[in-house]
A and B are shown apart, each in its own frame.
Chain A
Protein backbone atom coordinates (compact mmCIF):
# COMPACT_ATOMS: atom_id res chain seq x y z
CA UNK A 1 0.00 0.00 0.00
CA UNK A 2 1.37 3.38 -0.99
CA UNK A 3 1.33 6.03 1.67
CA UNK A 4 -0.26 9.34 0.74
CA UNK A 5 2.28 12.18 0.77
CA UNK A 6 1.46 15.76 1.68
CA UNK A 7 3.09 19.14 1.11
CA UNK A 8 4.45 18.89 4.65
CA UNK A 9 6.65 15.96 3.60
CA UNK A 10 8.37 18.17 1.01
CA UNK A 11 8.65 21.14 3.36
CA UNK A 12 10.10 19.01 6.14
CA UNK A 13 12.64 17.41 3.76
CA UNK A 14 13.81 20.74 2.34
CA UNK A 15 13.87 22.20 5.84
CA UNK A 16 16.38 19.55 6.93
CA UNK A 17 18.96 21.21 4.65
CA UNK A 18 18.88 24.58 6.37
CA UNK A 19 21.18 24.04 9.35
CA UNK A 20 23.88 22.24 7.36
CA UNK A 21 23.80 24.92 4.66
CA UNK A 22 24.28 27.71 7.18
CA UNK A 23 27.12 25.73 8.80
CA UNK A 24 28.79 25.35 5.40
CA UNK A 25 29.70 29.04 5.50
CA UNK A 26 31.79 28.26 8.60
CA UNK A 27 33.98 26.00 6.44
CA UNK A 28 35.01 28.98 4.28
CA UNK A 29 38.46 29.20 5.85
CA UNK A 30 39.20 25.48 5.46
CA UNK A 31 37.95 25.60 1.88
CA UNK A 32 40.19 28.60 1.08
CA UNK A 33 43.21 26.84 2.56
CA UNK A 34 42.49 23.68 0.56
CA UNK A 35 42.09 25.66 -2.69
CA UNK A 36 45.36 27.48 -2.08
CA UNK A 37 47.21 24.20 -1.57
CA UNK A 38 45.54 22.57 -4.59
CA UNK A 39 46.52 25.50 -6.82
CA UNK A 40 50.14 25.12 -5.72
CA UNK A 41 50.05 21.44 -6.71
CA UNK A 42 48.48 22.13 -10.11
CA UNK A 43 51.00 24.88 -10.83
CA UNK A 44 53.87 22.43 -10.38
CA UNK A 45 52.29 19.82 -12.63
CA UNK A 46 50.21 17.86 -10.13
CA UNK A 47 47.03 16.08 -11.08
CA UNK A 48 43.75 15.64 -9.25
CA UNK A 49 42.71 12.09 -8.33
CA UNK A 50 39.21 11.57 -6.86
CA UNK A 51 37.41 8.62 -5.27
CA UNK A 52 34.37 7.64 -3.20
CA UNK A 53 31.75 4.89 -2.84
CA UNK A 54 28.09 4.77 -3.86
CA UNK A 55 26.64 8.23 -4.38
CA UNK A 56 30.09 9.65 -3.58
CA UNK A 57 31.48 7.72 -6.55
CA UNK A 58 29.21 9.84 -8.72
CA UNK A 59 30.56 12.92 -6.92
CA UNK A 60 34.14 11.81 -7.53
CA UNK A 61 33.41 11.58 -11.27
CA UNK A 62 31.62 14.94 -11.15
CA UNK A 63 34.56 16.64 -9.42
CA UNK A 64 36.99 15.30 -12.03
CA UNK A 65 34.91 16.52 -14.98
CA UNK A 66 34.67 19.99 -13.38
CA UNK A 67 38.44 20.32 -13.75
CA UNK A 68 38.83 18.59 -17.12
CA UNK A 69 35.96 20.42 -18.83
CA UNK A 70 35.11 23.63 -16.95
CA UNK A 71 31.59 24.98 -17.26
CA UNK A 72 32.85 28.57 -17.18
CA UNK A 73 34.14 29.55 -20.61
CA UNK A 74 37.82 30.43 -20.78
CA UNK A 75 38.92 28.50 -17.72
CA UNK A 76 41.83 26.20 -18.53
CA UNK A 77 41.42 22.44 -18.40
CA UNK A 78 43.39 20.85 -15.58
CA UNK A 79 44.44 17.22 -15.25
CA UNK A 80 41.95 15.23 -13.18
CA UNK A 81 40.86 11.62 -13.08
CA UNK A 82 38.38 9.74 -10.91
CA UNK A 83 39.14 6.20 -9.82
CA UNK A 84 35.48 5.12 -9.93
CA UNK A 85 34.74 4.89 -13.65
CA UNK A 86 36.41 1.61 -14.56
CA UNK A 87 34.45 -1.36 -13.27
CA UNK A 88 36.93 -3.83 -14.80
CA UNK A 89 39.75 -2.39 -12.69
CA UNK A 90 37.61 -1.94 -9.56
CA UNK A 91 36.18 -5.43 -9.58
CA UNK A 92 39.59 -6.84 -10.50
CA UNK A 93 41.17 -5.26 -7.42
CA UNK A 94 38.22 -6.23 -5.21
CA UNK A 95 38.51 -9.85 -6.31
CA UNK A 96 42.29 -10.02 -6.00
CA UNK A 97 43.02 -8.04 -2.85
CA UNK A 98 39.64 -7.11 -1.36
CA UNK A 99 37.30 -4.17 -1.62
CA UNK A 100 39.29 -2.29 1.01
CA UNK A 101 42.22 -2.07 -1.40
CA UNK A 102 40.24 -0.43 -4.23
CA UNK A 103 41.46 3.16 -4.78
CA UNK A 104 44.65 2.48 -2.76
CA UNK A 105 45.80 -0.05 -5.35
CA UNK A 106 45.00 2.39 -8.16
CA UNK A 107 46.92 5.14 -6.38
CA UNK A 108 49.95 2.86 -6.02
CA UNK A 109 49.88 2.39 -9.78
CA UNK A 110 49.18 5.96 -10.87
CA UNK A 111 49.98 8.56 -8.24
CA UNK A 112 52.96 10.90 -8.34
CA UNK A 113 54.15 12.95 -5.35
CA UNK A 114 52.88 16.28 -6.74
CA UNK A 115 49.33 14.98 -7.20
CA UNK A 116 46.22 15.75 -5.15
CA UNK A 117 44.00 13.02 -3.70
CA UNK A 118 40.39 13.90 -2.89
CA UNK A 119 38.39 11.27 -1.01
CA UNK A 120 34.65 11.69 -0.50
CA UNK A 121 32.71 9.80 2.19
CA UNK A 122 29.36 10.90 3.62
CA UNK A 123 30.08 9.43 7.07
CA UNK A 124 33.86 9.12 6.82
CA UNK A 125 33.57 5.42 7.58
CA UNK A 126 34.58 4.11 4.13
CA UNK A 127 37.60 1.93 4.78
CA UNK A 128 38.85 1.98 1.19
CA UNK A 129 38.66 5.79 1.07
CA UNK A 130 40.56 6.11 4.37
CA UNK A 131 43.18 3.60 3.23
CA UNK A 132 43.65 5.41 -0.09
CA UNK A 133 44.05 8.79 1.61
CA UNK A 134 46.66 7.34 3.95
CA UNK A 135 48.48 5.71 1.05
CA UNK A 136 48.33 8.99 -0.89
CA UNK A 137 49.77 10.98 1.98
CA UNK A 138 52.60 8.47 2.47
CA UNK A 139 53.49 8.98 -1.18
CA UNK A 140 53.70 12.75 -0.83
CA UNK A 141 50.32 13.67 -2.31
CA UNK A 142 48.22 16.51 -0.98
CA UNK A 143 45.21 14.89 0.70
CA UNK A 144 41.76 16.44 0.87
CA UNK A 145 38.73 14.71 2.41
CA UNK A 146 35.05 15.60 2.18
CA UNK A 147 33.14 14.00 5.03
CA UNK A 148 30.01 14.35 7.15
CA UNK A 149 28.60 12.89 10.35
CA UNK A 150 31.36 12.34 12.89
CA UNK A 151 33.95 11.99 10.12
CA UNK A 152 34.73 8.37 11.05
CA UNK A 153 38.02 6.77 10.07
CA UNK A 154 38.74 9.49 7.50
CA UNK A 155 38.56 12.32 10.04
CA UNK A 156 40.77 10.26 12.36
CA UNK A 157 43.53 10.55 9.72
CA UNK A 158 43.24 14.33 9.95
CA UNK A 159 43.63 14.23 13.75
CA UNK A 160 46.80 12.11 13.68
CA UNK A 161 49.84 13.84 15.10
CA UNK A 162 52.33 14.19 13.63
CA UNK A 163 51.92 14.43 10.69
CA UNK A 164 48.21 14.17 9.96
CA UNK A 165 47.60 12.10 6.85
CA UNK A 166 44.59 14.15 5.74
CA UNK A 167 45.87 17.66 5.07
CA UNK A 168 42.49 19.31 4.52
CA UNK A 169 39.35 17.94 6.15
CA UNK A 170 36.13 19.56 4.95
CA UNK A 171 33.08 18.54 6.98
CA UNK A 172 29.37 18.84 6.32
CA UNK A 173 27.52 19.41 9.57
CA UNK A 174 24.89 16.68 9.20
CA UNK A 175 24.53 12.96 9.75
CA UNK A 176 21.94 12.61 6.97
CA UNK A 177 23.82 11.20 3.95
CA UNK A 178 21.49 12.97 1.50
CA UNK A 179 22.12 16.34 3.14
CA UNK A 180 25.85 15.66 3.37
CA UNK A 181 25.97 14.93 -0.36
CA UNK A 182 24.37 18.26 -1.18
CA UNK A 183 26.87 20.11 1.00
CA UNK A 184 29.67 18.20 -0.73
CA UNK A 185 28.41 19.25 -4.18
CA UNK A 186 28.60 22.90 -3.14
CA UNK A 187 32.02 22.32 -1.55
CA UNK A 188 33.57 20.83 -4.65
CA UNK A 189 32.04 23.41 -6.97
CA UNK A 190 33.66 26.05 -4.77
CA UNK A 191 36.93 24.06 -4.64
CA UNK A 192 37.07 24.14 -8.41
CA UNK A 193 36.29 27.84 -8.74
CA UNK A 194 38.58 29.09 -6.00
CA UNK A 195 41.47 26.78 -6.94
CA UNK A 196 41.36 28.61 -10.29
CA UNK A 197 41.40 31.94 -8.48
CA UNK A 198 44.61 31.05 -6.65
CA UNK A 199 46.09 29.36 -9.71
CA UNK A 200 45.63 32.47 -11.84
CA UNK A 201 47.11 34.60 -9.15
CA UNK A 202 50.13 32.31 -8.77
CA UNK A 203 50.51 32.30 -12.57
CA UNK A 204 50.68 36.08 -12.57
CA UNK A 205 53.12 36.23 -9.70
CA UNK A 206 55.65 33.94 -11.40
Chain B
Protein backbone atom coordinates (compact mmCIF):
# COMPACT_ATOMS: atom_id res chain seq x y z
CA UNK B 1 0.00 0.00 0.00
CA UNK B 2 1.43 3.38 -0.97
CA UNK B 3 1.21 6.38 1.34
CA UNK B 4 -1.52 7.83 -0.82
CA UNK B 5 -3.55 4.61 -0.66
CA UNK B 6 -3.27 4.69 3.12
CA UNK B 7 -4.63 8.24 3.10
CA UNK B 8 -7.51 7.42 0.76
CA UNK B 9 -8.38 3.74 1.29
CA UNK B 10 -11.89 4.33 -0.04
CA UNK B 11 -10.44 4.79 -3.52
CA UNK B 12 -9.32 1.26 -3.75
CA UNK B 13 -11.62 -1.73 -4.22
CA UNK B 14 -11.84 -3.98 -1.18
CA UNK B 15 -13.76 -7.05 -0.08
CA UNK B 16 -16.34 -4.96 1.73
CA UNK B 17 -17.69 -2.96 -1.21
CA UNK B 18 -20.72 -0.93 -0.20
CA UNK B 19 -23.98 -2.31 -1.53
CA UNK B 20 -25.42 -0.45 -4.51
CA UNK B 21 -22.50 -0.66 -6.94
CA UNK B 22 -20.83 2.29 -8.69
CA UNK B 23 -23.29 5.01 -7.69
CA UNK B 24 -22.95 4.14 -4.01
CA UNK B 25 -19.17 4.06 -4.35
CA UNK B 26 -19.21 7.43 -6.12
CA UNK B 27 -21.27 8.94 -3.31
CA UNK B 28 -18.88 7.44 -0.78
CA UNK B 29 -15.87 8.97 -2.54
CA UNK B 30 -17.51 12.40 -2.58
CA UNK B 31 -18.33 12.08 1.12
CA UNK B 32 -14.73 11.11 1.92
CA UNK B 33 -13.32 13.94 -0.19
CA UNK B 34 -15.53 16.47 1.59
CA UNK B 35 -14.44 15.03 4.94
CA UNK B 36 -10.80 15.27 3.85
CA UNK B 37 -11.26 18.98 3.09
CA UNK B 38 -12.80 19.62 6.49
CA UNK B 39 -9.94 17.70 8.18
CA UNK B 40 -7.35 19.83 6.41
CA UNK B 41 -9.16 23.03 7.41
CA UNK B 42 -9.13 21.88 11.04
CA UNK B 43 -5.40 21.09 10.74
CA UNK B 44 -4.46 24.54 9.48
CA UNK B 45 -6.64 26.23 12.10
CA UNK B 46 -4.85 24.28 14.85
CA UNK B 47 -1.43 24.95 13.31
CA UNK B 48 -2.06 28.72 13.14
CA UNK B 49 -3.13 28.71 16.79
CA UNK B 50 0.05 26.86 17.72
CA UNK B 51 2.25 29.22 15.73
CA UNK B 52 0.62 32.23 17.41
CA UNK B 53 1.07 30.71 20.87
CA UNK B 54 4.76 30.06 20.16
CA UNK B 55 5.68 33.17 18.22
CA UNK B 56 3.39 36.09 19.15
CA UNK B 57 6.25 37.99 20.80
CA UNK B 58 8.71 37.09 18.05
CA UNK B 59 6.27 38.30 15.37
CA UNK B 60 6.03 41.65 17.15
CA UNK B 61 9.81 41.85 17.62
CA UNK B 62 10.50 40.95 14.00
CA UNK B 63 7.93 43.41 12.60
CA UNK B 64 9.48 46.13 14.80
CA UNK B 65 12.96 45.30 13.49
CA UNK B 66 11.75 45.31 9.89
CA UNK B 67 9.98 48.64 10.39
CA UNK B 68 13.14 50.11 11.91
CA UNK B 69 15.20 48.81 8.97
CA UNK B 70 12.82 50.28 6.38
CA UNK B 71 12.65 53.57 8.31
CA UNK B 72 16.45 53.79 8.21
CA UNK B 73 16.49 53.34 4.43
CA UNK B 74 16.84 49.57 4.30
CA UNK B 75 15.47 47.42 1.50
CA UNK B 76 13.99 43.94 1.64
CA UNK B 77 15.17 40.97 -0.42
CA UNK B 78 13.04 37.80 -0.38
CA UNK B 79 13.88 34.32 -1.66
CA UNK B 80 12.82 30.68 -1.71
CA UNK B 81 12.37 27.73 -4.08
CA UNK B 82 9.30 26.32 -5.82
CA UNK B 83 6.11 27.32 -4.04
CA UNK B 84 8.26 29.34 -1.65
CA UNK B 85 9.57 31.36 -4.62
CA UNK B 86 6.00 32.50 -5.20
CA UNK B 87 5.77 33.38 -1.50
CA UNK B 88 8.95 35.44 -1.89
CA UNK B 89 7.20 37.35 -4.67
CA UNK B 90 4.07 37.83 -2.59
CA UNK B 91 6.24 39.23 0.22
CA UNK B 92 7.89 41.71 -2.14
CA UNK B 93 4.52 42.71 -3.61
CA UNK B 94 3.05 43.20 -0.13
CA UNK B 95 5.65 45.87 0.66
CA UNK B 96 6.27 47.42 -2.76
CA UNK B 97 2.60 47.58 -3.84
CA UNK B 98 0.57 47.93 -0.62
CA UNK B 99 -3.09 48.99 -0.35
CA UNK B 100 -2.03 52.59 0.15
CA UNK B 101 -0.21 53.43 -3.12
CA UNK B 102 1.82 56.10 -1.34
CA UNK B 103 3.20 53.68 1.26
CA UNK B 104 5.30 51.53 -1.08
CA UNK B 105 8.62 50.29 0.29
CA UNK B 106 11.71 48.99 -1.52
CA UNK B 107 11.28 45.22 -1.65
CA UNK B 108 12.59 42.83 -4.30
CA UNK B 109 11.99 39.10 -4.82
CA UNK B 110 15.28 37.51 -5.91
CA UNK B 111 13.22 34.74 -7.49
CA UNK B 112 11.63 37.00 -10.10
CA UNK B 113 14.77 37.72 -12.10
CA UNK B 114 15.07 34.80 -14.49
CA UNK B 115 18.13 36.25 -16.18
CA UNK B 116 20.12 36.35 -12.94
CA UNK B 117 18.82 32.95 -11.75
CA UNK B 118 19.71 31.14 -14.95
CA UNK B 119 23.02 32.95 -15.42
CA UNK B 120 24.23 31.93 -11.96
CA UNK B 121 22.83 28.39 -12.22
CA UNK B 122 24.47 27.90 -15.59
CA UNK B 123 27.80 29.55 -14.87
CA UNK B 124 28.37 28.81 -11.17
CA UNK B 125 25.81 26.68 -9.32
CA UNK B 126 22.23 26.73 -8.16
CA UNK B 127 23.46 27.08 -4.58
CA UNK B 128 24.60 30.66 -5.14
CA UNK B 129 21.50 32.07 -6.87
CA UNK B 130 20.45 34.06 -3.80
CA UNK B 131 23.84 34.64 -2.16
CA UNK B 132 25.40 36.28 -5.23
CA UNK B 133 22.69 38.93 -5.78
CA UNK B 134 22.80 39.69 -2.05
CA UNK B 135 26.59 40.05 -2.23
CA UNK B 136 26.17 42.43 -5.17
CA UNK B 137 23.27 44.54 -3.88
CA UNK B 138 22.95 43.99 -0.14
CA UNK B 139 23.91 46.70 2.33
CA UNK B 140 24.09 46.77 6.12
CA UNK B 141 20.60 47.45 7.47
CA UNK B 142 18.79 45.73 4.57
CA UNK B 143 16.43 42.83 5.28
CA UNK B 144 16.80 39.27 3.94
CA UNK B 145 13.65 37.14 4.18
CA UNK B 146 14.03 33.50 3.14
CA UNK B 147 11.51 30.67 3.07
CA UNK B 148 12.14 26.91 3.02
CA UNK B 149 9.52 24.41 4.16
CA UNK B 150 12.22 21.88 5.10
CA UNK B 151 14.63 24.49 6.41
CA UNK B 152 17.31 22.69 4.40
CA UNK B 153 17.41 24.48 1.03
CA UNK B 154 21.12 25.00 0.39
CA UNK B 155 20.68 28.16 -1.67
CA UNK B 156 18.44 29.75 0.99
CA UNK B 157 21.02 28.93 3.70
CA UNK B 158 23.82 30.39 1.54
CA UNK B 159 21.64 33.48 1.12
CA UNK B 160 21.34 33.91 4.89
CA UNK B 161 25.08 33.42 5.36
CA UNK B 162 25.81 36.17 2.83
CA UNK B 163 23.12 38.44 4.33
CA UNK B 164 24.69 38.02 7.75
CA UNK B 165 28.12 38.88 6.31
CA UNK B 166 26.58 42.07 4.90
CA UNK B 167 25.07 43.04 8.26
CA UNK B 168 21.48 42.60 7.12
CA UNK B 169 18.47 41.76 9.32
CA UNK B 170 17.65 38.11 8.56
CA UNK B 171 14.18 36.57 8.76
CA UNK B 172 13.65 32.84 8.17
CA UNK B 173 10.47 30.80 7.72
CA UNK B 174 10.72 27.01 7.94
CA UNK B 175 8.64 23.95 8.76
CA UNK B 176 8.95 20.50 10.36
CA UNK B 177 11.58 21.00 13.11
CA UNK B 178 13.30 23.87 11.31
CA UNK B 179 15.97 21.69 9.69
CA UNK B 180 19.35 23.29 9.04
CA UNK B 181 17.81 26.75 9.30
CA UNK B 182 17.31 26.12 13.01
CA UNK B 183 20.93 24.97 13.43
CA UNK B 184 22.80 27.79 11.71
CA UNK B 185 23.37 31.06 13.56
CA UNK B 186 22.66 33.33 10.61
CA UNK B 187 18.91 33.84 11.13
CA UNK B 188 17.94 36.64 13.52
CA UNK B 189 14.19 35.96 13.48
CA UNK B 190 13.25 32.31 12.91
CA UNK B 191 9.68 31.02 12.57
CA UNK B 192 9.20 27.25 12.38
CA UNK B 193 5.76 25.87 11.49
CA UNK B 194 5.54 22.64 13.49
CA UNK B 195 3.89 20.38 10.90
CA UNK B 196 5.00 17.55 8.63
CA UNK B 197 2.68 18.61 5.78
CA UNK B 198 4.35 20.84 3.20
CA UNK B 199 0.95 22.26 2.33
CA UNK B 200 -0.04 23.18 5.89
CA UNK B 201 3.48 24.59 6.47
CA UNK B 202 3.12 26.86 3.43
CA UNK B 203 -0.33 27.99 4.58
CA UNK B 204 0.94 28.88 8.06
CA UNK B 205 4.00 30.59 6.57
CA UNK B 206 1.66 32.71 4.46
CA UNK B 207 -0.09 33.85 7.63
CA UNK B 208 3.21 34.64 9.33
CA UNK B 209 4.63 36.75 6.51
CA UNK B 210 1.34 38.54 5.91
CA UNK B 211 0.97 39.39 9.60
CA UNK B 212 4.62 40.52 9.62
CA UNK B 213 3.83 42.73 6.63
CA UNK B 214 0.68 44.16 8.15
CA UNK B 215 2.36 44.93 11.48
CA UNK B 216 5.46 46.35 9.80
CA UNK B 217 3.33 48.74 7.74
CA UNK B 218 1.30 49.62 10.85
CA UNK B 219 4.45 50.40 12.83
CA UNK B 220 5.74 52.56 9.99
CA UNK B 221 2.44 54.45 9.74
CA UNK B 222 3.34 55.69 13.24
CA UNK B 223 1.08 57.64 15.54
CA UNK B 224 -1.05 56.35 18.39
CA UNK B 225 -2.68 52.93 18.38
Contacts and interface: CB of A to CB of B under 8 A. Distances in A.
Given A5-B219, A69-B82, A197-B33, A22 B89 contact: no
B130 to A, nearest CB: 17
Nearest to B205: A185
B174 to A, nearest CB: 15
A200 interface: yes
Contacts of B85: 61
Contact of B206 (A54, A185, A200): A185
Interface string A1-20: 11111110111011001100
Given A1-B222, A58-B90, A186 B41 contact: yes
A28 B215 contact: no
Given A2-B68, A5-B219, A21-B48, A74 B207 contact: no
Given A2-B67, A190-B37, A74 B223 contact: no
B210 A178 contact: yes
Interface string A51-82: 00011011101100110010111110000000
A71 B36 CA distance: 18
A193 B218 contact: no
Given A3-B219, A61-B86, A201 B29 contact: yes
Interface residues of B, number: 65
A74 B8 CA distance: 14
Contacts, number: 166
Chain A: interface size category? 35 or more
A40 B60 CA distance: 46
A158 interface: no
Given A28-B37, A31-B37, A13 B215 contact: yes
Given A28-B34, A62-B83, A182 B203 contact: yes
Contacts of A177: 99
Interface string B5-48: 00010011100000000100000011001111110111011001
Interface stretch (B51-59, B135-143, B164-172, B180-188): B51-59
Given A2-B71, A13-B214, A21-B48, A55 B93 contact: yes
Contacts of B90: 55, 58-59, 181
Among A7, A10, A62, A65: residue with most chain B CB under 10 A: A10
A112 interface: no
A74 B3 contact: yes
22 contacts: A1-B222, A3-B219, A3-B221, A3-B225, A7-B57, A10-B55, A13-B214, A21-B48, A22-B45, A25-B38, A62-B86, A65-B86, A74-B4, A178-B210, A178-B211, A181-B206, A186-B44, A186-B203, A189-B202, A193-B199, A198-B33, A204-B13
